[in-house]
Chain A
Amino acid sequence: MAQSDTGTVVRFDHPGAGRRRAASTPKGREVQPQAKHEIEVLLGDRPRARDHLIEHLHLIQDTYHQIGAAHLAALADEMRLAYAEVYETATFYAHFDVVKEDEPDLAPLIVRVCDTVTCAMFGAEKLYADLRAHEEAGTLGGPARIVRAPCVGLCDQAPVAEVGHHFVRHATAANVLDAIAQDDSHAHIPDYPDYDAYIAGGGYDVLNRLRAGTLSVDAVLKALDDSGLRGLGGAGFPAGRKWRSVRNEPGPRLMAINGDEGEPGTFKDRHYLNTDPHRFLEGTLIGAHVVEADDVYIYLRDEYPAAREILTREIAKLPPGGPTIHMRRGAGAYICGEESSMLESIEGKRGLPRHKPPFPYQVGLFGRPTLINNIETVFWVRDVIEKGPAWWTSHGRNGRVGLRTYSVSGRVKEPGVKLAPSGITAAELIAEYCGGMLDGHEFAAYLPGGASGGILPASLSDVPLDFGTLEKYGCFIGSAAVVVFSQADDIQGVALNLMRFFEDESCGQCTPCRSGTQKARMLMERGDWDADLLGELGQVMRDASICGLGQAASNPIACVIKYFPHLLAPREAAE
């Protein structure tokens, strides 16, 4: 070539190795225009703020019955979040099914079979196996898939399967298949007293007086203090003191309701929401008024679709003037019942417990001082004020004070929600409130406080069930979920079931819980327990875990070692 011609492409070699080819798109996954369009339409004018991430993931899951990678990438782009941020949140929660590009689509109908302790007692494993066999054989009768699920809060009607959002109680393969065949997959809304009915019964009078100034904030706080009403989510912190603490922090303050009732065996909050939603709402609004919160977040577990529907309907009927109530939907994570995990989840993140201090009343939701109450705690506020603290303190037994809502399940004739005096013993509860043991079953053991509250033998059935009464036995009452076992139940098997639950539900943040629950489960599966090692491990989990889950997860082990040593005897024989 003599003269360079501007139109001629002169080929130069380059100094690179020349072994690889350049990518035709930028690094990482591309946002697909079609998926982006679908997400834009789906989200509409909903906020793009980070704290709506989980709500938007629900929207995708509900619409497409799974969360495809293309949609997830588009959602990240739309919310200006990193891929990793949306992915880690989506994969943390059991109710989101992330499907990558190279994976097949999932069957649209999900059937969740509860396999936690009470349902396990009533045949959940067989139910799950039968349904899986149908799935394998293609005889489910519809495009469904069978998955295991932890406690859904219907332990009094165990075993339970959830077909879509419809709960099949006393489930059998047959009635589940019926539900699938009839596509009976929507929540069944029970009859309940609505806004008008609640008003007719004198409802919202306390709130109105408070707002009008005829009832003072101090009077409310005094009533709470005098009643001794405590946090009924399980921690038992005095409600009045908590409200005062939040009130004393600089504003703006927020309120969050913990409706993530996930402690196995517990179903009292669902009961109250489904039977008297406005009593709960009035208590909530009284709390918001006292701490001057303009925004209230109700975090409700995803397993309670009927309650969600009821609340959504009824909140819409509230007259203007109160705080903004934000409904937030859990997504299948027991850990989000831990208050600081719940805050993280409301903020649209994985539900990792926060380190304390600082406490949520100081640094809570979005970094603001936050009043966090359990559903049942605020449920009683109207009554305590209206009827007076003396009404509350007039109840109680065995030297204890107040009322307590026990969720009773297991081998009793009449399981269910039992409003009984605080301090009642297990024996009294079974005899007086539950119609006694099931025929052919002898009382052998019980969980006094759900999965985490430990296991006690029937010989300790005379211990008052209340805050502070069980600790000396290595147990606690927590959310007052009493699960009753008989001679038919394998207590080691119960402990293993509970450990599997904790292992699944561990957030994975800290080593003692993440690894400890896994190693404990592996050791327990060996049948002949290494009680020394399990005991050692349990103590460290108790001492060194970040939150209550890990700290309590070894309670069943410790109780089996302590109260059921005869069960561990074969170990040496086996060697």
Chain B
Amino acid sequence: MSSSTTREGPQDLDGATTETQGLAFELDGVQVFAREGESVWDVARRVGTDIPHLCHRPEPGYRPDGNCRVCMVEIEGERVLAPSCKRMPAVGMKVHSTTARATKARAMVMELLVSDQPARATSHDPTSSFWNWADRTEVTESRFPAAERWAHDPSHPAMRVNLDSCIQCNLCVRACREVQVNDVIGMAFRNAEAKIVFDFDDPMGSSTCVGCGECVQACPTGALMPAAYLNEAETRVSWPDKKVDSLCPYCGVGCQVTYEVKDKRVVYATGRDGPANHNRLCVKGRFGFDYIHHPHRLTKPLMRLPNMPKHANDQIDPANPWTHFREATWEEALDAAAAGLVKVRDEAGPRALAGFGSAKGSNEEAYLFQKLVRTGFGSNNVDHCTRLCHASSVAALIEGLNSGAVSAPFAAAKDAEVIIVIGANPTVNHPVAATFIKNAVKAGTAKLIVMDPRHQSLSRHALHHLAFKPGSDVAMLNAMLHTIINEGLTDEQYIAGYTEGYEELRARIQDFSPEAMAPVCGIPAETLREVARLYATARSSLIFWGMGISQHVHGTDNARCLIALALVTGQIGRPGTGLHPLRGQNNVQGASDAGLIPMVLPDYQSVENPAIRERFEAAWGTSIDPKRGLTVVEIMNAIHDGGIKGMFVEGENPAMSDPDLNHARSALAMLDHLVVQDLFLTETAFHADVVLPASAFAEKSGTFTNTDRRVQLGRPVLDPPGDARQDWWIIAEIAKRMGCAWTYTQPSEIFTEMAGLMPSLANITWDRLVREGAVTYPVDGADQPGHEIIFYAGFPTASGRGKIVPANVLPPDEVPDSEYPMVLSTGRVLEHWHTGSMTRRSGVLDAIEPEAVAFMSPKDLWRMQMSPGDQIRLETRRGAVEVKVRSDRDVPAGMVFMPFCYAEAAANLLTNPALDPFGKIPEFKFCAARVSAAAMASAAE
């Protein structure tokens, strides 16, 4: 590009341009000043000159396109008019926005567009931006004949396509292609027939559309709209009574959302310009909110019927729990819940009790829950689903860097030259974070390398996709380390200044040449070398990883390799570099920080350290068990062994999420006393003695910490239904009944208490969060922004150095053999989250992914003489399910991939509970399995 004219003007040196600094030009006879990057339209808007706009969306990520021509202005000396949205001012330029010529052109453009619109009264959105501008420019009628337009497309469960309102402004194309980079929408054909199409002009519902709804949020006319707004005649009939700013309840990205409420129901969600999402959402965040209104919602406490037996395979119809439960008052239920726990504590000892908190709840709830277990139960047997997702990553990070959090936000992708995504499928599991990765690749600033046995939608954008053999992570990563070390690509200065243990790695790595590892991991040596060189020699390289790294018996070793890669190359602590384990749940970072972990108190402070313990004992006014507690899978084993007899499960669903469910469910059924606090009668609650109806995300106030270490405030949108109560209140009521003298009256008090015990939350107050919405920790001052990037000068370890820990190549726990020849790997699908208790009760998400499916390679299906859509029997040494098979080219031959969200075919009946020795995380990503056609008899049922 030639030097832009904006740089020739007086420079804004202090970054705080005032109205009299910048590039001077004339707008309607008045001298104005453009700031860096501002178009004529931007300046006009800033100084209060109203210029219409339709195809221009002045929001992050949208470039002006200048195609609609309703923003035309006259520039002296130019033959034709110019689009103000796209034209950059030049020094001395004289712009006129109100001349007859410019006004006439804008009015005529509106008139042309109005002529092809449906009648306003029955139009899809009479209050659209388009009609708003028609009103403001006083052009609501047209003298031109109307052209034929397109038929409507009702094929998508969540969105309606009514192209008779389309003005071909291509905002939806930019939304889909440039902002979210889902690349589904195109502008096909040409001239007046230029048409918005999905894929090959397919119905939206049968296209590759991932339902992010960015197009709906961008459309200025109502041609693309949420179905929830429209009646059968495709006319908008719904306008919100109120809007509430809050957050998305799903993954760790932490999107900020505005919920629209009508008649005490959430009808729609729009993305807000939060620091993590910049207005973007995914299908879950935008359309998956309605589970809170599902008829299965628990609205009264339930107590198990007397003498009702429990069995591992029990199931109860959530719509009719009266087969096993009766309704109870809160007083009665809380008394019974607490009494049962007290009885176990008093008769079998504190360590006979355990609690599972939740990464879906707020920081305050997580903090209270672990405090209840530690002070009310009297043990450290408290854990949550972090054990099932990133426990091994955290183990390696704490060991090496003494910090379990990411070193840089996912937005660092924009500053990276090389991005490695390994063992993660962010377009499915962290869709909005993935958009920023795709943006960086599309901008040409970053090269993407994806490493995963399965292909994924990011693979198309990647320079290399390394589809290595499942479970061979360490072999592949060690080969990269070998290349970097032996080819002299290390950052010697960084190693000398900020690391320890390098020499041992250097010695140990010699056995792992790319040539030796190629047959182990299935990636050619030359590719391994090339990728290693790319990573090491780039100005900035960033690593994202997910469960594909952590959910292995060698998960900690996998993460150690990634840490070593960053440390030996110095690819950490600078913009565009770092280590980012993508956190799975909306508050798994915060729940872990808050101490919902058996070994550590809040902020990862060891419970086995007397000095630390004393500090908490003083603060909490009670003694703390000096012995670390048991982890999720260990607790299930302990129930079988008779060690644990009572549990309180808040917002977790181990009867779906634990490995080897036959084992886990029979454990739950064995408990003397089980209290479950949840929104729904989950598979875990089937075994409960007392079920306490809790509040959904949209019904509560609290803080949540996203994958970037960003603490954000969630605000209540609605009251909980019926007699459902706030989670923090329920936890506190149980605590009171177990002897804790708690007096909390609102979440802000809890936050203040925990912040006082957690150095990480220094300078973050409830009031600040109310004011700013989001603050990233660590923060140096009450009036300073948080550090997005950490480890810029060493690490918070005793030596100040990052510790490099070599890893050995170990096989998965259970390798395929002739009896079980396939590899079963588990994970998620885009539409369903965790155990499906929320998403399967969302109308849209359920409509898109309504049934249990397992994914297999077309080659395997062909080999086994099966067809896509057949029912298969999938079994391992631990269990069997029957499930529909989906043919998917992304799955390598020899593998079955199955999401674990399906109650009717729970993948975790099959998974292997073998644990990583450090993180205690089960090997969800690998076990031996076999596939056969399902028996006809059962298919006929």
Name A's B-contacting residues (CB within 8 A): 1, 4, 6-31, 33, 69, 72-73, 80, 82-85, 87-88, 91-92, 98, 100, 249, 333, 335, 350, 355, 358, 362-363, 367, 503-512, 514-519, 522-523, 533, 536-537, 539-540, 542-546, 551
Contact = CB atoms under 8 A, between A and B. Distances in A.
Given A12-B904, A362-B2, A540-B104, A24 B109 contact: no
Contacts of B902: 14
Interface in B110-145: 112-113, 115-116, 143-145
Nearest to A518: B192
Contacts of B879: 6
A506 B191 contact: yes
Contacts of A537: 108, 112, 144
A350 B840 contact: no
A26 B902 CA distance: 17
Contact of A28 (B206, B852, B906): B206
B593 interface: no
Given A16-B846, A87-B186, A508-B194, A515 B206 contact: no
A522 B144 contact: yes
Contacts of B144: 519, 522-523, 533, 537
Contact of A11 (B108, B680, B890, B904): B904
A355 B66 contact: yes
B878 interface: yes
Interface in B542-581: none
B108 A26 contact: no
A559 B113 CA distance: 26
A24 B200 contact: no
Nearest to B830: A27
Contacts of B858: 33
Given A9-B880, A83-B199, A515-B116, A510 B69 contact: yes
Contacts, number: 272
17 contacts: A9-B938, A11-B941, A13-B904, A22-B853, A23-B886, A82-B184, A84-B177, A84-B188, A85-B183, A87-B199, A88-B186, A88-B189, A505-B191, A511-B113, A518-B147, A523-B145, A536-B104
A18 B851 CA distance: 8
Given A87-B188, A522-B144, A20 B850 contact: yes
B72 A543 contact: yes
A367 B194 CA distance: 26
Interface stretch (B233-241, B309-317, B642-650): B309-317
B837 to A, nearest CB: 7
Interface in B833-850: 836-837, 840-841, 843, 846-847, 849-850
Nearest to A24: B869
B906 A511 contact: no
A21 B883 CA distance: 12
Interface string B642-668: 000000000000000000001001100
A358 B1 contact: yes
A509 B903 CA distance: 49
Contact of B69 (A21, A98, A511): A511
A515 B840 contact: no
Contacts of B105: 512, 540, 543-544
B80 interface: yes
Given A8-B880, A9-B873, A14-B840, A510 B885 contact: no
Interface in B847-869: 847, 849-853, 858, 867-869
Given A14-B836, A28-B199, A523-B144, 5 more contacts: A12-B315, A29-B199, A91-B190, A506-B192, A512-B69
Nearest to A539: B104
A536 B108 contact: yes
B193 interface: yes
Contacts of B168: 508, 511, 514
Contacts of B851: 14, 16, 20-22
Contacts of B230: none
A396 B193 CA distance: 45
Contacts of B884: 22, 24
Contacts of A6: 662, 875, 877-880
A29 B904 contact: no
A505 B1 CA distance: 30
B889 interface: yes
B147 to A, nearest CB: 6
Nearest to A84: B186
B886 A25 contact: yes
Contacts of A18: 850
A305 to B, nearest CB: 23
Nearest to B200: A87
Nearest to A6: B879
Given A6-B880, A22-B852, A355-B66, A28 B202 contact: yes
B683 A73 contact: no
A508 B191 contact: yes
Interface residues on B, range: 35 or more
Contact of B680 (A12, A15, A24, A26): A15
B881 interface: yes
Given A88-B186, A518-B191, A27 B850 contact: no
Contacts of B190: 91-92, 333, 335, 350, 505-508
Contacts of B886: 22-26
A291 B842 CA distance: 62
Given A22-B852, A362-B2, A523-B145, A28 B208 contact: yes
Nearest to B459: A80
Contacts of B209: 27-28
Nearest to B157: A20
Contacts of B906: 12
Given A21-B851, A512-B112, A350 B187 contact: yes
Interface in B154-195: 167-168, 176-177, 183-194
Nearest to A526: B145
B145 A85 contact: no
B482 interface: no
A546 B875 CA distance: 62
B112 A515 contact: yes
A519 B113 CA distance: 11
Interface in B37-84: 66-70, 72, 80-81, 83
Nearest to A28: B208
B201 interface: yes
Interface in B189-224: 189-194, 197-202, 206-210
B464 interface: no
B67 A510 contact: yes
Interface in B68-106: 68-70, 72, 80-81, 83, 86, 101, 104-105
Contacts of A29: 199-200, 202, 208
B887 interface: yes
A514 B192 contact: yes
A540 B108 contact: yes
B882 interface: yes
A508 B191 CA distance: 4
Nearest to A90: B188
B888 interface: yes
B318 interface: yes
Contacts of B846: 16-17, 20
B506 interface: no
Contacts of A551: 80
Nearest to A519: B144
B829 to A, nearest CB: 10
Contact of A22 (B1, B109, B199, B849): B849
Contacts of A515: 112-113, 115-116, 147, 192
Contacts of A91: 188-190, 201
Contacts of B878: 6
B68 A510 contact: yes
Contact of A544 (B80, B460, B843, B888): B80
B887 A24 contact: yes
A367 B1 CA distance: 8
B69 A544 contact: yes
Nearest to A15: B840
